[in-house]
Structure 1
Amino acid sequence: MVLWLTLLGGCDNSPDLGLGEERVSPEESLFEAEMTRRILEIAREHHSEHPQQPIPRFNQPKTLACPVATFRVLGLDERLAQGIFAEPNEYQAILRFANATAQDDREKDLRGLTIRLFDVDGASSVDGTAGHQDFLLNSHPRLFAGTPEDFHAFVSAVADDRLWWYFLNPLDPHLKSLWIAWQARSQPDSLLAIRYWSTTPYRYGEDESVAVKYSVRPCPDDTPQDRDTEGPDGDDPHYLRHTMAENLRTGEACLSFMVQFQTDPDSMPIEDASVTWDEEDSPFEEVARLTLPRQDVTAPQALSHCEGMAFNPWNTHPAHRPLGGINRVRRGLYQEVGEFRTSHDATLSATPDGP
């Protein structure tokens, strides 16, 4: 009997997905609404306790640096020349580097990279603004909460101030998530010397069977300066910002923007962002380069401007529409929470006593 029930539980009568295909759960809208409500509760509580302070982001709260850059689309073959990559072009961009949780850069943590391109023909934002193309990436190739259901459970645990319960709840443990979260933690010498991944998939062009993930890494011939861990920076809780400041004070930096095509819908799923797409089966291919000119990334106005921005993967050209459950629930959640946070922070900065 136990074997029979086990076999029944292991059966999935839903049809297999093809390349680029999505499967929407009927519970997603409920998960999105509940997560939005809980994250707004946290934001309102912070505002109530600290009315003269900006509201931090729920994820990646510490802005490390917000350099400006040029995003240069390369000359590409027909397969790669799709959407905003259809022909060589240049876009002005702003990059936000952030810690996922830590305020002290010396703590092992996940690091985030968000890229916004400006004046992109055909791109539109969730708030109605035209011309914005956002790319969201992390310093690990997979998310520890890879489905809307897991994401919802994680947000609920954080909101209830018992994060451990998400990972170790004996009735619903997330041991795989715990392992991924542990693996994702690192302490890099430089934000410009590590690699970033989108973790979630996106359409690439007009063909609905084509899906990709994005990745960013240092250009092959670019070697940003590492910090001296034996020197004074080893005791600096903001060493990642200061190392980038030193890198960009003395020279430019170059980052390679790449895409990886989905070639197998089973081993490279659309609906589970906790799965790494194998690079041996489908290597990443360069489609653009980011050039960061000399600049001062410690300038208060640059950091303040970045804090006043709200990013969303659905700020996009339609040829690069987000795919998968994690991206679907991000749309309304990021918009509503971001609007609340930035509206408050804008009002705060406009007051005489504001930061």
Structure 2
Amino acid sequence: NAYPQFDNMKDARGMAIKLLGVPGDQLLPSQQGRGEQDFVMFNHANFFVSDVAEYRQNVAAQADGKKVMAFLPGWDPRQWQVRHLFIALATLSEAPPSPLLTTYFSVSPYKFGNLNAKFRVTPEAGTCPAYTPPAQNRDVPNFLRSALYQQLSTDRQPACFALQIQTQDAKRYMPIEDTSVRWKESDAPFQTVAHIQVPAQDFDTPKQNLMCDNLSFSPWHGIEAHRPIGGINRLRKAVYEAVSAYRLERNGVR
């Protein structure tokens, strides 16, 4: 959603990972010497627009106060984006019991060395001690944060994820330029390439919150081996840079 809202409202949920100390030249001239690789995801496997032109039309309509009609531009049924409307409705899902109990997807494709790939981060049972989070009061505005605090800070229980890669098969319909198409796992199964452990920690402190609010994530923070590809990713470069600059300026950082 474009505005802060209670966690019990239907919406997409995101996850971002920033690796530090990554060797190699950064993709962006402004990032040289930082040694970062970001992974930016949200909890739905495909996007509700296909390409940059449709993104522009859809976002402009939503900014004009349109919701469903953003997917029905005009009276000509050939222009209606009914399939994309259903993707958008599926994206606006109920909140999970905890941010640590859902799967997050890259949605758009990236280079994986010489291959093209998408990635996801999914909870990995068996690599962390078994833990069942207590039920949260979903009427509390920030109950997802409370669930995170309960597990990591109060109960001192870590969380484990698997980072998985799905590589493109040129013989299958796995398009680069249409992010509304979900790459079928029957065509290319996900393979685990890394394990992630979120340790028990005291994260909800003024110092940590300030550091978090001044971080910037982007699919373009990284190295050539993991270059974002496709039109939507090129669009995201400009959008993420503009949003980050606006937020940091408002925070008094630049």
The aligned counterpart of 1:202 is: 110
| Superposition pairs of residues 296-307 of structure 1, within 5 angstroms | 296-307=202-213
Does 2:31 align with 1:128?
A: yes
Which residue identity does 1:135 align to in structure 2? F
Q: Structure 2: how far apart are the matches of 1:345 and 1:256?
A: 34
Q: Aligned-residue CA RMSD in angstroms? A: 2.1
Task: Indicate the SS of the match to 2:197.
Answer: strand
The SS at the match of 2:90 is helix
- Opposite residue 196 of structure 1, the aligned amino acid is Y
Does residue 220 of the first structure (1) align with residue 125 of the second (2)? yes
Which residue number in structure 1 is paired with residue 81 of structure 2? 174
Q: Does 1:247 align with 2:151?
A: yes
| Counterparts of 1:298 and 1:248, CA distance in 2 | 10
The aligned residue for residue 149 of structure 1 is: 53
State whether structure 2 residue 19 is matched by structure 1 residue 117.
yes
User: What code does the residue aligned with 1:327 have?
Assistant: N
Does residue 104 in structure 1 map to residue 6 in structure 2? yes
The percentage of counterpart residues that share the same residue type is: 33
C-alpha distance in 2 between matches for 1:264 and 1:103: 42
Offset from partner CA, 1:220-247 (integer Å, 9 cap, x none):
2145533415xxx232121111101111
Equivalent residue pairs, number: 244
Aligned to 1:29: none
Q: Which has the larger radius of gyration?
A: 1
**Is there any run of 5+ residues in structure 1 with no aligned partner, and where?**
1-59, 62-100, 349-355
Residue type of the alignment partner of 2:157: G
Q: Which amino acid aligns with 1:115?
A: I
Mind listing any 5+ residue stretches in structure 2 that lack a counterpart? none
SS of corresponding position for 1:177 = helix
Partner-residue secondary structure (3-state), 1:212: strand
Q: 1:166 touches 1:173 (CA, 8 Å); kept in 2?
A: no
Evaluate the alpha carbon distance shift between residue 157 and residue 131 of structure 1 in structure 2; reply closer, same or farther with a 3 A threshold.
same
In the aligned structure 1, how far is the partner of 2:195 from the partner of 2:228? 21
Amino acid across the alignment from 2:10: K
Match of 1:165 among 58, 64, 69: 69
| 1:252-331 mapped onto 2 (5 Å cutoff) | 252-264=158-170, 267-331=173-237
Equivalent residue, structure 1, for 2:249 = 343
User: Could you tell me which amino acid in structure 2 is paired with residue 128 of structure 1?
Assistant: Q
Q: Which moved more, 1:150-159 or 1:106-115?
A: 150-159
In 2 relative to 1, CA 315–347 (structure 1 residues): closer, same or farther, beyond 3 Å? closer
Which residue is equivalent to 1:193? 101
1:140 aligns with 44
- Superposition TM-score, scaled by structure 1 size: 0.64
Structure-to-structure mapping, 1:6-21, within 5 angstroms: none
TM-score for both structures, normalised by structure 2: 0.88
Q: CA deviation at 1:329?
A: 1.2
Q: Distance in 1 between matches of 2:202 and 2:223?
A: 31
How far 1:265 moved relative to its partner?
A: 6.1
Cα gap change, 1:186 to 1:271, in 2 (>3 Å): same
Native 8 Å contact 1:203 1:320 kept in 2: yes
Q: Distance in 2 between matches of 1:115 and 1:123?
A: 19
Aligned partners of 2:205, 2:18: CA distance in 1, in Å?
19
Equivalent-residue separation in structure 2 for 1:253 and 1:296 (angstroms): 14
